[in-house]
Structure 1
Amino acid sequence: MMKEKIEAVRQEIVSASIETPAQLEEFRIGYVGRKGKVADLFAGLRDVPAEDRRAVGQELNELKQLAQQRFDEGKATMEQGQTSDVPPPLDLTLPVVPKELGARHPLSLVRDRIVEVFARIGFSVAEGPEIEDDWHNFSALNFPPDHPARDMQDTFFIERNPGQDNDIALRTHTSSVQVRMMERHKPPIRMIMPGRVFRNEAISARAHCYFHQVEGLYIAENVSMADLKQTLYYFAREMFGPQTQVRFRPSFFPFTEPSAEIDISCGLRQPGTCQICGGSENICKGTGWIEIGGAGMVDPNVLSNCGIDPERYTGFAFGMGIERITMIKYRISDIRLFSENDVRFLQQFTSLG
């Protein structure tokens, strides 16, 4: 009777599955522990006749060793699996894991869209250095020596030379690229200049010490304010929708005359006509209009400074902040999100790339 019990437990030990930590623990309790089946068999050894006790005891010891051996092998296998750098064998029957797509930065998306819109009407792209001299950043653009933009409050100067006209600074606008293009090319000139600019400003939800601009320049014979307006009407409707309205407010810039601020309608006054703010007052502050940039006719002095005859040629220029366009288009309320590299923010634009 005892031998039959020993044989039954032996078969259980041999056939037991030990593939997970839970199964290993279950095996330990059932066969190796003090309250397991092997321990119960040892407790029953006293009921075995004296003449058979020696042989049965030997079989029980072998059974105990077998149980301990299987437990030790299972434990070692699991510990090795946890520390091994060898990957599990490849199962070719499993479905393919989809490859995750990265996300393009929203500023890159909008910059490329702006370039695409203006390329349709003949504007090419020009770039220039981010570190500029005084001539290209200020003087050639009609900034007088005492203009506030030259003050340390607004400009990151790298090298100051008081009383001289050769300061070196991080460019405060991409208008410096316009000067370089007018110096190097003869009219007609039709270009846009996207790029990063720097200004010594306090960082907040609506302002940053560096941001991105795109400026445009068109120089040719008989260019008029009407050409400027139609160009910006076209851009606004392509960027924000066909129902977008544009208005021009008189303003002042040293390098354009006349000058104007550019506003677009946000849909507050006529809900449903524009998808920019959906009738919210958060963006337009209740006015129904959002400023997107400045523009004007190139001042004749600027043309002369760059070697272009102002008696023969006229032109217009405009400038817009790419962050401002992006914030309006995607309803982003904090400009700091563009430079914080928060993956949670950037992943929202995965499907737009």
Structure 2
Amino acid sequence: MAVLNHFSACRWTLDQVRAGITGQFAGLAALYGREAKQDRLLEKEWTNALAWTQKTTRRSTRRRNAFINDTSHPEPTGGAAGSASKAGIRQLVNDAENIFYAVLDDRLKRLGREGHHLRFTLRQILGFARANDTELVEVGCRSLALGLGKHHGTVARQLPRLVALSDGLLTKVADARHKRADVYLLQLPEKYEQLARELAWKKGKIHGIRYVFRALGDHSALVYECIERSRHSPTNADIIRATGISRSAVEKAVNEMAALCMIHREEGRWRITATTNLTQLAARLGVIDDVQAQISLHRHQRAVWHAYLDRFTVQAISEEDLYDQDKDEYWMPPPDGDPASDYAVAFQAA
């Protein structure tokens, strides 16, 4: 861990560490012993090293900027330690979104049904990072499940799988503790930086699963997004190539959405019907009631969990607990020249 912490502080990447193990840092591989053990532990320990480096960087910055004595010259702090500007975070999210659509989305769609779920989960995380202007995504499984229309247990099983398949785009840096959720770091791997600069940013929002697609299904959501984000109105063949969905599933999805006036066809190409409000359509299909039921369930589950945690919380004693306002505890000393001694008065008062 000391070696990995050093590499992390030097801003190495996991790919550089793996390359170094097979080269000039072969002694690090010897510490793991077997290669299977190295493959199993290296990624987990590298994540712990990233979290440790981030925490110690903030501490060392505070110590370095402290005055040694009154004659010490102040040093510029450079702003908050380890924080990026909003413009930088938006650029990071835009680049990560481009890499996701150009590389990872194509890989995940080959995993079949599991891949569809992982694609939507990563979309939801990217949307959360964009909405909150942060590269540190601290969001619970229930919050993700609400945006995906899934059970929170399903999301909890998918997140470790997504981190493993994200190719360094998403890294878990802190485990959930008490009322805090897991923390994930969104970053752009070094090997994708050149590709991210060459790709143009696409307009439009990135979504998890919008409410209406809880009723229509994941295939319809992918087909609608393909039509919505395409530079040119796609045909059925274009949608099949872009989404990785079978021809029968694509035809079923477009026919169903066309019947609901969500899309329309012009000269063999599909276009979005801008006059159709998806939220109102979701209400017509009865999805809003399901969403409200899920929100109520999550609130109840959180209340039960917080009540369980509060049982182990030591309650602080306030001043009101020690002092009774209705009871007169003030003792008036005797006036000057009173023949009664202070000790006698004190004794009688007691």
TM-score normalized by the length of structure 1: 0.21
**Larger C-alpha radius of gyration, 1 or 2?**
1
* Structure that is richer in strand per residue: 1
* Structure that is richer in helix per residue: 2
Which of the pair has the greater relative contact order for Cα pairs under 8 Å at 6+ separation? Answer: 1
TM-score normalized by the length of structure 2: 0.21
